[in-house]
Chains A and B, each alone.
Chain A
Amino acid sequence: MTTATTGPTAAKAAKAAGAAGKPKPATMAQALQRAMRDAMAEDPTVHVMGEDVGTLGGVFRVTDGLAKEFGEDRCTDTPLAEAGILGAAVGMAMYGLRPVVEMQFDAFAYPAFEQLISHVAKMRNRTRGAMPMPIVIRVPYGGGIGGVEHHSDSSEAYYMATPGLHVVTPATVEDAYGLLRAAIASDDPVVFLEPKRLYWSKSDWSPEAPAPVEPIGKAVVRRRGTGATLITYGPSVPVCLEAAEAAQAEGWDLEVVDLRSLVPFDDETVCASVRRTGRAVVVHESTGFAGPGAEIAARVMERCFHHLEAPVLRVAGFDIPYPPPMLERHHLPGVDRVLDAVARLQWEAQS
C-alpha cells in the first residue's frame, strides 16, 4: 500500500470502468463535495457547518447542494465567527454528532485557534478517552490563485505542532475523496487542508466507483526514481512531478513521495524511499524556518544518516509574510527552484 502508485492505478480503474460507463472528468472540489455527500447519506450524525456553506454552497462551491439535499439542519450557514463555529462543533461532538466545519480561508481560521488547541485537540486527553472529538476542520489553504492578503497562508506547521490533531492534505482528485471520507470516519479531530490552487484540477474520476477509503497516515510514492527523493505534499506535488519530468533531460531520475498525511507522519514510506535513493529534498510552499520541512528533514537525517549521500535540503517559501498576489510567483517554490536544489545534491558524486 505504501508503494502503490495511485495515479496509474486510478487510471486503470477508470479504463476498466470505461466499458460500463465512461467516468467524466471531475474536479477536486467536486470530489470533496461528493465525499461529504456520501458521508452524510450514510451517517445521519454527519453535519456540515460554516459561513456560506448552505445556500451559496461555499465560496469555492465545495458544499454545493448539500443544504438542498440534506436540509439546513445538516448543512448549516452559521454566523460569521470561527471560534463560535468550532466551539459549537465541540458541543455537538460531545452530544454524538460528527461535525465537518469549513474555515473558508486559511488565515480566517486563526480566531478558532484557542478552541482548536485547548479543546478540540485535547478533549480526548482531558477526559481520559471518555470524550473523543470526531470533528473535521476543512481549511482551504495556500497560494497561487492571486488571493489578496490573508487568503493564501500555509498554516500547517501550527497544526502539526499540536498533539491530538491529525493533519492531512490531498494532492489528487482521488485522494480528495478518499482522505475526506477517512477524515470524517475518524474518531479523532482532523485538520483537512485543501490546496486552493488544486480545487479545479481534474481527473477521470468516477464518483460511482470511488477508490477504497484507506485509513489516514499513509504516504504514497507518486513517481518511482533512483537518484533522489522529493518529499512533498498538497499543492507542491504537481510541482515536484513536473520537476521530475524535467529532470529526466538532465539524466536525473527522481522519486516523488506525496505525504498526504503530515500527522501522523509516515516515516516508513519516506525513509524507505530515501534509503533507496540516498538523497532527499523536502518541498513545500509554507515558510522554511521552523516549517514542516525542518521536522521532516530532521526525521530523515535521524533515521537515514548512513544511507545519505548528501544533506537533506529544503525548498520552501521564503520566510516572509505571504506576499501580495503580483509577487507571489517569486515566493512559491517552482520547478526551477526544485531542480536547483537537486543539482546542489552533488549529483556527479553518484554518477
Chain B
Amino acid sequence: MDSLQQRSSTVQEPPGAVPAYRPTPPPAWQPRTDPGPLLPDAEPLRVLGTDAVADADPALLLRLYAELIRGRRYNTQATALTKQGRLAVYPSTTGQEACEVAAALALEERDWLFPSYRDTLAAVARGLDPVQALTLLRGDWHTGYDPREHRIAPLCTPLATQLPHAVGLAHAARLKGDDVVALAMVGDGGTSEGDFHEALNFAAVWQAPVVFFVQNNGFAISVPLAKQTAAPSLAHKAVGYGMPGRLVDGNDAVAVHQVLTEAVARARRGGGPTLVEAITYRIDAHTNADDATRYRAAGEVETWRAHDPILILERELTERGLLDEDGRRAAAEAAETMAAELRERMNADPVLDPMELFSHVYAEQTTQLREQAAQLRAELEAEGEA
C-alpha cells in the first residue's frame, strides 16, 4: 500500500515522452426530455360542475346525453340476455358509459378503434351494428364484422395485446401519408401486461399517432388497483416512455371527450402518442360469472352511483334548461327502441354453416384441411340421413 502511494505521488514523465492519459470526466447527464410537461395533473380533469362547463357546446352535451342513455340501456339489455342464455358472457360497462361513448365520439371516421373485450359499447357508439358487436360474446363467430369496413379492430380478449397493433397501424398510416389516428382501449389490469409496456415504448420511439386510453375502473376482476401497481397513477407511467400522461374523471363525459379529442388532435398533427387514464368505476360485476360482493363493499358502490355519468350530465343539462321531461322521455324511448330491436334479433337462432370451420384458416385450404372438410361433410350428410 505504501509503495503504491509513493509511486503515484512520485511519477515523473521523462522529457519528450507522450503525455500520460488523463481521462476527462464525462459530460454531466441531462434528461432527454423535460419530464415536467409530461406529468399528469394531480387531480383528474373535471368539467361538469365547474366553471369550465360554460364553454361546452350545448349540442355536444345533448349528443353525449343521448349516447349515455342508449349505452346504459345497451348494458342492461345485454346483461339480461346473458341471464336468458342468449349471450355466453357479457362484461358490462355500466357506470363506465362516459368513457365508452367519448372514445367513439373523439374519433373521425377514418380513425381506428382498438377495443378490449369490455368495449363493445364503444364499438356500438362508433356506429357498429349492435348484433354484429355481440357475436364474440354470443359465440356464433369470433368477430361479427369486417374490421376494415368499420375501422374497429376485433374485440381483443387477451389483455393489452391489441395495443401494439394500434401502434403498428398508426405507424403504417403515417408512413403512407394518411392522417389517421388509432385509439387503443385497455383496463387498469391490462397496464401490468408486458404488451402495454412494449406498445407505449414503440409508440413513443416512433412518435406514432396513437392514443392509449386506460379505463381505471378499480378492479381487474377482483384485484384492486393497489395490488396492481405502485405508481402514483397509471397516467404517471407515461413519463417513463416520454409521452404526456393525462388524468381525467371517467364519469364526466364532457371531460373525457375533451381530453381524448385533444390527444387525438395532437397525434393527428404529428405530436405523437398520449396516455390518458380515466378514473371510473365498474358498477356491475366483472361478468355474469363473477360475484363482486366477495371483494368490495356495498357502500363503495353506492358512493360511485352518486357520481353516475348520466346523473351528473343530466343535472347540468337540466340546470341549463337544455333538457326537460320531454327530452328525457325522448332519449329513453329511443334507447328502448334500440333495446327492443336488439332483443328481437338476439332471440332468433343464428344459422351457422359448420363447413365454414375450414374456410378461413389459410387463404387456400391445405391438403390436410381439405381431407378434414370432406370428413366433416360426410358426417353432416350421415346426420341428415339419420
Contact = CB atoms under 8 A, between A and B. Distances in A.
Q: Do A and B come from one complex?
A: yes
Interface of A: 73, 78-79, 81, 83-84, 86-97, 99, 111, 114-115, 118-119, 122-132, 163-164, 166, 186-188, 217, 263-265, 267-268
Given A186-B363, A265-B368, 5 more contacts: A87-B168, A92-B171, A93-B168, A115-B161, A115-B164
A127 B360 CA distance: 8
A157 B67 CA distance: 49
A196 B202 CA distance: 29
A101 to B, nearest CB: 11
Given A87-B163, A91-B165, A188-B362, A81 B198 contact: yes
B142 A126 contact: yes
Contacts of B147: 94, 127, 130-131
A83 B195 contact: yes
B143 interface: yes
B141 A88 contact: no
Contacts of B158: 114, 118
A209 B191 CA distance: 51
With a 10 A CB-CB cut-off, give which of B170, B171, B176 has the most chain A CB atoms: B171
Contact of A88 (B146, B164, B173, B176): B164
Contacts of B198: 79, 81, 83-84, 87
B167 A128 contact: no
12 contacts: A86-B164, A94-B147, A94-B169, A96-B172, A111-B194, A114-B158, A114-B161, A115-B161, A124-B363, A125-B361, A128-B360, A164-B362
Contacts of B244: none
Given A84-B198, A97-B172, A267-B367, A164 B361 contact: yes
7 closest Cβ contacts across the A-B interface? Answer: A91-B168, A87-B164, A84-B198, A88-B168, A91-B169, A95-B172, A264-B366
A263 B364 CA distance: 13
A268 B366 CA distance: 12
Given A130-B146, A217-B366, A124 B167 contact: no
A130 B149 CA distance: 9
B201 interface: yes
A163 B366 CA distance: 11
B154 interface: yes
B362 A124 contact: yes
B146 A91 contact: no
Given A119-B161, A126-B154, A87 B360 contact: no
B199 A84 contact: yes
A87 B195 contact: yes
A131 B168 contact: no
A79 B202 CA distance: 7
A128 B165 contact: no
Contacts of A84: 164, 167, 195, 198-199, 201-202
B154 A91 contact: no
Contacts of A73: 175
Contacts of A163: 361
A81 B362 contact: no
Contacts of B194: 83, 111
Contacts of A122: 142
B334 interface: no
B166 to A, nearest CB: 6
A95 B175 CA distance: 10
A125 B171 contact: no
B229 interface: no
B267 interface: no
Given A87-B198, A124-B360, A264-B368, A95 B143 contact: no
B205 interface: yes
A89 to B, nearest CB: 6
A336 to B, nearest CB: 34
A315 to B, nearest CB: 25
Interface string B185-229: 000000000110011011001000000000000000000000000
B173 A95 contact: yes
Nearest to B163: A87
B143 A90 contact: no
B363 A187 contact: yes
Nearest to B153: A94
B161 A81 contact: no
Contact of B169 (A95, A111, A118, A128): A95
With a 10 A CB-CB cut-off, give which of B164, B169, B171, B361 has the most chain A CB atoms: B164
A87 B167 contact: yes
Nearest to A122: B142
B359 interface: yes
B7 interface: no
A91 B167 contact: yes
Contacts of A186: 363
Contacts of A128: 141, 143, 356, 359-360
Contacts of B366: 217, 263-265
A186 B363 CA distance: 9
Contacts of A86: 164
With a 10 A CB-CB cut-off, give which of B165, B201, B202 has the most chain A CB atoms: B165
Contacts of A264: 362, 366-368
Contacts of B167: 84, 87-88, 91
Contacts of A90: 164-165, 168
Contacts of A124: 360-363
Contact of B168 (A81, A92, A164, A188): A92
B161 A91 contact: no
B164 A83 contact: yes
With a 10 A CB-CB cut-off, give which of A83, A87, A119, A217 has the most chain B CB atoms: A87
B147 to A, nearest CB: 6
Nearest to B166: A91
B175 to A, nearest CB: 6
